[in-house]
Amino acid sequence: MSAASCLLTEDQFLCSICLDVFTDPVALSCGHNFCQSCITEHWDSNVPYRCPNCKEVFSTRPQLKVNIFIKEMAAQFRQSAQQESSSSSSERQVSKPGEVPCDVCTGTKLNALKSCLVCLASYCETHLEPHLTMSGLKKHQLIDPVENLEDWMCEKHDKLLELFCKNDQRCVCVMCTVLEHQTHSVVPVKEEYYRKKAELEKRKAEMNQMIQKRQLKIQELKRSVKLSDQNAEREIAESVQVFNALIETVQRNLDKLINSVKEKQEKTKNQAEGFIRELEQEISDLEKTSTEVEQLSRSEDHLQLLQNFKSLNAAPPTKDWTEVRVHPPSHEETVKRAVKQLEETISIQMEKLICEVELKRIQQYEVDVTLDPDTAYPKLILSDDGKQVKYGDMKKNLPDNPKRFDKCSCVLSQQSFSSGRFYYEVQVKGKTVWDLGVARESINRKGQITTGPQSGYWTICLRNGNEYKACAGPSVRLSLQSGPEKVGVFVDYEEGLVSFYDVDAAALIYSFTDCSFTEELYPYFSPCNYDGGKNSAPLVISPVV
């Protein structure tokens, strides 16, 4: 029977009404089976009497009798299913390596759910039940399963280590507190456990915070290394550019020196060849005369000798070649002059190349600057985009707010800067008078102003069309080879540096160094007055190109 039941499936023992294993199964004449209570309730509420499966209608209510055979089969199937379920559950609870086994199980040890500190034993779900149901065992202290429960017992007094001595930082039993720790601060193990656990959680949080800080520092260092690599690559590229230019200069000057030496040598050579040709011609003439003299001296004819002697009276060459020499040219002075000239050229070129590289580097700090109409002197005319300013004849009726210049033709930018680096360029082409630079926020804007660092201004200016000055208090006269058409202004707030550049010539005009900035800095502009109509061109804030 058991073997046969194993061949049957669960569907064959299910009632189609309650969908559960048959309870008191009955069979209808049509061959279908149902629980007795299920079919009875179905027919009590549904007329006519028909089979719920095949819909066969019965003329009268059938007499129902329990099918003993099917009932036994269903009971065996239910029992088999329960055993399989119990076996499967037990298999899942079998103790594995590293887990605490049940101390009561014989044979296969199941996984313990709890350990008892009174019994000093660990129990699986089944063997734990008495501790959960019996009044005497309910008082035992249960904890999550642990191994080596004997470690929870005091070695001296064979009592449970249920207390913690704060003075000695160790677990103790009740007897220990009476005999050895009577003056110490003692708390229950559980209380100290939670306190220590909270402390560990706090320490863990602190360590996690330390880890995060160190991870952020690692990222910062990596970014620094990456930035350093980029800077190194840029510096190498710029250095290669500078040195290649210098090498070209050296090669060009070397070629010039070589050509100069060759020209001098060629001149010396041509001079010597000219002397040689002249000497050869004199030798030829002398040899010819000598032959004629010899022939005439052999003549025995008195009359012929006397007649021809007169023709031989022509004076022989009288040039004295004793002091005539060809001196090899000395190239030492030529080389010295060439080297000195090269040094001067390289020095000038180095300064220019370094300035070009420096200008390209600082141009990356370009900022968008626009003029602030609320600060502009009433006679100034600003463009709609805030990029141009020039002097006008008409003084506008504007509100005299604290930000506005009321006597000097000045205007500040809308943007201010209190850290880092910034750069902008201003076109000054066609102007004979102007002022440019930066000013701190607290400058005096009313009445006549004097520009200079002591007043909060770091500026340069042009006067009379060709007089350039740095308003350093006192002013510094600037000697420029040519007047700039576009001026670049660079500020390094932390370094206390304000530098002005001739953009087209890539040349430094002037630098204010060791400045002490403690306020917001504003770009400062003054197109100045008309200067008899010669200064009508505007100051134009230009983008870097």
Per-residue pLDDT for the chain (545 aa), expressed as one digit of tens each? 444 444 556 667 788 887 778 888 888 888 888 888 888 888 887 767 888 888 888 888 888 888 888 888 888 887 776 666 555 444 446 656 668 889 888 878 888 989 888 888 899 988 888 888 888 888 888 888 888 777 788 888 878 888 999 988 989 988 898 888 888 998 998 889 889 999 999 999 999 999 999 999 999 999 999 988 988 888 888 788 878 888 888 888 888 888 888 888 899 899 899 989 989 988 888 888 888 888 888 888 888 788 777 776 655 666 788 888 877 777 677 778 878 888 887 777 777 777 788 898 899 999 999 999 999 999 999 999 999 999 988 888 888 889 999 989 999 999 999 999 999 999 999 999 999 999 999 999 998 888 999 999 999 999 988 999 999 988 999 998 889 999 999 999 999 999 999 999 888 999 999 999 999 999 999 999 888 889 999 999 999 98
Report CA-CA distances (Å) from 151 to 120, 159, 160, 181: 10, 11, 9, 20
User: Which pLDDT score is estimated for 100?
Assistant: 87
- State the DSSP code for 271: H
User: How remote is the C-alpha of 407 from its chain's centroid?
Assistant: 48
Backbone angles phi, psi at 507, to 5 degrees: -130, 145
User: Which pLDDT score is estimated for 9?
Assistant: 64
Report CA-CA distances (Å) from 537 to 61, 127, 407, 432, 527: 118, 103, 21, 9, 8
Structure tokens of 496?
Answer: 């206390």
Per-residue exposure over 77-110, b if at least 16 CB sit within 10 Å of its own CB, e if not: beeeeeeeeeeeeeeebebeeeebbbbbbeeebb
Mention every residue, 6+ apart, whose C-beta is less than 8 A from residue 537.
Answer: 390, 429, 430, 431
Q: Which pTM value belongs to this model?
A: 0.49
User: Which pLDDT score is estimated for 4?
Assistant: 41
Alpha-carbon span 31 to 39, nearest angstrom: 14
Structure tokens of 60?
Answer: 């009268």
Do β-strands 521-526 and 434-440 pair in parallel, antiparallel, or remain unpaired? antiparallel
Alpha-carbon span 238 to 356, nearest angstrom: 10
User: Which pLDDT score is estimated for 1?
Assistant: 40
Name the percent of the chain in helix, strand, coil, to the closest 5.
40, 20, 40
